[in-house]
Amino acid sequence: MSILVLGLGNILLSDEGVGVRAVEAFQARWTVPDGVDVVDGGTCGMDMLDIIASHDTMIVVDAVKTGAPVGTVVKITGPDVPVFFRGRLSPHQLGLSDLLATLTLTGEAPGYVSVIGCVPASMETSLEMTPGIAARIPAMVDLLVEELRSLGVTVEPKAP
Amino acid sequence: MVQRIVVDPITRIEGHLRVDCDVDGGKVTKAWASGQMWRGIELILQGKDPRDAWVFAQRICGVCTTVHAITSVRAVENALKMEVPLNAQYIRNIIQGAHAVHDHIVHFYHLSAIDFVDIVSALKADPVATSKLAQSLSDWKMNSVGDFVTAQKKLGAFVNSGQLGIFGSGYWGHPAMKLPPEVNLLAATHYLQAIEFQRRMNKVVAILGSKTPHIQNMAVGGVANPINFDSQSTLTLEKLHYIKQLIDEVGEFVQQVYIPDVCAIGAFYADWTQIGRGVVNYLACPDMPVDTKGEKLSLPGGFIKGADLVGGFNPIKTFNDAYFEKGVKESVKHSWYQGGKGALHPYDGETIPQYTDWSDDGKYSWIKSPTFYDNRAQVGPLANVLCMFAAGHEPTVRWTTAALNTIAMHLKTPVGPDILHSTIGRHAARAVRAAVLHEEVGKQWTLLMENLGKGDFATYNKPVFPKGEIRGFGFHEAPRGILSHWVVIENGKIKNYQAVVPTTWNAGPRDEGEQMSAYESALLDTPVADPEKPLEVIRTVHSFDPCLACAVHLTDTESRSSYQVKVV
């Protein structure tokens, strides 16, 4: 089984980059065995197709808009993961849901997809996250570790 | 009665591009284009090391990562007046060309084709007739009856399972959809094949750039690719030959599928060669440097005034060309910034927000309005192709002529370059550019191999920053048109940084002299059959391939469409 852990988001836009930051925090403290790839996918354009298609399980770590209060950390699975082409004026509005829709058409979508997300407070132009959201990163990392273990992956803390 | 149509991607939290049209008597009578967010990326770069600027710049957007990286290092190199090793130029050229070909294929099949192609109608097509039609258009190896049967089954399975909803934005059955079922099936099948082929160009970028989506190999002064034919961890002969194979496979797709499809669809929508003309001053920069100083460029560029490809063309010749550097100004008269100083040069540009509400005759956009010697200009593949055509660039003349001849054959009447000043023309020019760039990437690959054969393995010159202030600009003919970065450096730190992105040229509001931008003027007189479903407006906007440098891509489980149409 091959597993992709994909951090998404734009680190120039404050909390929008929380997924990338959470994956960085995960990599700093945990090791994963071969067969698990941890990737900083940035803002996830069509160039992510190959990477996603070459794995059969994917855990996305991203900022999410679910209607829940700011700072809420969630895990989304199954039919709640959005899979469709959005109406759009620009290819820059292309996102995870479009890529999953494309791979569904080509028959290459990962068999299992989950999203570990956090509802952002600010998407202003800044390299810094807001303190409230930065403080949620450990919870996202814990959820990611738990998710990997539930998939049978041996996740080990790095030696200090 | 005048109706106002507002197309606004409101569900992305920050907003994006908004287009307003007044429609009267079934036609657009007035139009406004507006950027709905302010990014101020330059503020992040102030005080940073100029050698790191590209790392941040490539995060500006999710599609053009490599484009901003390359332009950023060019701007800093220009400020330092430094030379770049030949291998580095060739490697950058291959990366940028491969990225652009990938990008154009994705734009046409993934974003624009469903403006013209009706997926539901494709299910009614006869695969045998489709195959016969396809084989009359091209020698493509995947045009057999079996290919179309398979694709139709795949699409049918989606529609019958209720999954058509994944094409959330399609206007199925709209009165402006005109293709026969067989042409719809042809295009839909090639859409599925395009998904596969565009990925190969992306592999080229990933191999040379060491990583995707954010390349790791760029550096002020060159590239960070060590080349050693004996070490697997570097760029080896094996990898270089694999790259060439990928490039050639995609080239076949461009020549035998993309161009024939655009010509055929364009001929069915021949009325769209008379719609969407817009601003016919064109600006494009030369690119693909083949020397160390950026004085010799393989692809020409320049400025065309008033659609005059002969008397109206002025070339831009080098990376240091003062004709370009001095010609650019930006107006904020109709943008949400403090103004009053007239249009300013990017080195002196000010970005002080002053938000008012939307005002038709006042301020209505976060985008500034650039001009070239006080002229509005259209940028993008059409501008690029017309400038290269005007400069007599042989591959461009050859591919443009071939495409026009194919369209003429379908229409059974001669057509000239004049039909290119249109919505369909922008699609045709993008396909021509993909073919030209594919050849150019092959040429750059050969140059790289020949240079390595001479024993030159250099890829990097170390930059040295002087005390005091220096300034420079870098440009790049990106997939959506001319991109320029402008940098002021003081004592080795960035003092000011401005990125003038292609969509700024095309989608800005009215300027200091009330001249409309390319989007705004292209929308005038566009027919609109149903104001609730302004497919025709979307077609013209899409033909420009909009790109606002501002990627917000959070996972949204709440809303299923990112643009909303309002009729007020």
DSSP B357-417: ---TTS--BSS-EEEETTB--B-SHHHHHHHHHHTT-HHHHHHHHHHHHHHHHHHTS---G
Query: How large is the C-alpha radius of gyration of chain A?
Result: 15
Q: What is the pLDDT of residue B10?
A: 34
B564 pLDDT band (50/70/90 cuts)? Answer: low
pLDDT above 70: residue B163: no
Q: Provide the sign of the torsion angle of the four alpha carbons B51, B55, B56, B61, taken in this order.
A: positive
Q: What is the pLDDT of residue B196?
A: 87
Q: What is the pLDDT of residue B323?
A: 97
Query: What's the rounded Cα separation, in Å, for the pair A145 and B557?
Result: 23
Q: B308 — phi, psi (to 5°)? A: -90, 100
Cβ–Cβ below 8 Å for A63 and B167: no
Contact partners, residue B374, CB within 8 Å, separation at least 6: B329, B343, B512, B513
pLDDT above 80: residue B361: yes
Beta bridge partners of B23: B3, B28
By C-alpha distance, the chain A residue nearest B540 is: A89
B403: left (phi over 0), alpha (psi -120 to 50) or beta: alpha
pLDDT tens-digit readout, B402-438: 999 999 999 999 999 999 999 999 999 999 999 999 9
Q: Give contacts of A94 with chain B, Cβ < 8 Å.
A: 62-63, 553
Cβ–Cβ below 8 Å for A90 and B547: yes
pLDDT tens-digit readout, B114-159: 889 988 899 999 999 999 999 999 999 999 999 999 999 988 887 7
Question: Whole domain around residue A51: which residue ranges?
Answer: 3-157
pLDDT tens-digit readout, A103-158: 888 888 899 999 999 999 988 878 899 999 999 999 999 999 999 999 999 999 99
Q: Give contacts of A66 with chain B, Cβ < 8 Å.
A: 557-558
* Pair B261, B105: CB distance under 8 Å: no
Cross-chain CB nearest to A42 (options B195, B213, B550): B213
Q: Of B37, B12, B33, which Cα lies nearest the Cα of B21?
A: B33
Q: Specify the higher pLDDT residue, B147 or A12.
A: B147
Q: Specify the higher pLDDT residue, B508 or A67.
A: B508
Report the length, in residues, of chain A: 160
Cross-chain CB nearest to B192 (options A13, A90, A106): A106
Q: What is the pLDDT of residue B37?
A: 63
Q: What is the pLDDT of residue A106?
A: 82
Query: What's the rounded Cα separation, in Å, for the pair B68 and A27?
Result: 27
B63 pLDDT band (50/70/90 cuts)? Answer: low
By C-alpha distance, the chain B residue nearest A44 is: B62
* Pair B459, B90: CB distance under 8 Å: no
Q: Specify the higher pLDDT residue, A9 or B76.
A: B76
Q: Specify the higher pLDDT residue, B231 or B323.
A: B323
Distance from CA of B167 to the nearest CA of A (A): 5
Q: What is the pLDDT of residue B12?
A: 31
Q: Which segment, A3-12, A40-49, B5-14, B273-282, is predicted with the most confidence on average?
A: B273-282
Cross-chain CB nearest to A47 (options B41, B59, B202): B202
A92 pLDDT band (50/70/90 cuts)? Answer: very low
Query: What's the rounded Cα separation, in Å, for the pair B276 and B274?
Result: 7
Find the range with the poorest average confidence among A9-18, A133-142, B76-85. Answer: A9-18
Provide mean pLDDT across the span B333-350: 88
Question: Whole domain around residue B216: which residue ranges?
Answer: 3-567
By C-alpha distance, the chain A residue nearest B156 is: A105
Tokens representing B106?
């994705």
Provide mean pLDDT across the span A12-22: 90
Question: The domain that contains B492 carries what CATH number?
Answer: 1.10.645.10
Q: Specify the higher pLDDT residue, A155 or B61.
A: A155
* Pair B557, B26: CB distance under 8 Å: no
Find the range with the poorest average confidence among A23-37, A82-96, B37-51, B207-221. Answer: A82-96
Provide mean pLDDT across the span B363-379: 94
Q: Give contacts of A126 with chain B, Cβ < 8 Å.
A: 44
Q: Specify the higher pLDDT residue, B215 or B332.
A: B332
pLDDT above 90: residue A37: yes
Q: What is the pLDDT of residue B360?
A: 93
Q: What is the pLDDT of residue A68?
A: 87
Find the range with the poorest average confidence among B199-208, B299-308, B522-531. Answer: B199-208
Provide mean pLDDT across the span B12-33: 80
Question: The domain that contains A77 carries what CATH number?
Answer: 3.40.50.1450
Complex ipTM over 0.90: no
Tokens representing B422?
């249109």
B555 pLDDT band (50/70/90 cuts)? Answer: low
Cross-chain CB nearest to A44 (options B154, B206, B553): B553
The crossing angle, in degrees rounded to 10, of helices B423-453 and B237-253 is 160
Query: How large is the C-alpha radius of gyration of chain B?
Result: 23
Cross-chain CB nearest to A62 (options B39, B44, B555): B555
Provide mean pLDDT across the span B79-93: 97
- Percent of chain B, pLDDT > 70? 91
Q: What is the pLDDT of residue B9?
A: 54
Provide mean pLDDT across the span B514-527: 96
Q: Give contacts of B545 with chain A, Cβ < 8 Å.
A: 90-91
pLDDT tens-digit readout, A47-59: 788 889 999 999 9
* Number of domains composing chain B: 1
Q: What is the pLDDT of residue B7?
A: 78
Find the range with the poorest average confidence among A77-86, B261-270, B275-284. Answer: A77-86
* Pair B202, B102: CB distance under 8 Å: yes
pLDDT tens-digit readout, B25-58: 999 999 998 876 656 677 788 899 999 999 888 8
**Average predicted confidence (pLDDT) for chain B:** 89
pLDDT above 50: residue B23: yes
Q: Specify the higher pLDDT residue, B335 or B173.
A: B335
Provide mean pLDDT across the span B377-386: 98
* Number of domains composing chain A: 1
Cβ–Cβ below 8 Å for B554 and A86: no
Provide mean pLDDT across the span A21-30: 97
pLDDT above 60: residue B14: no
In B26-182, beta strands by DSSP E: 27-35
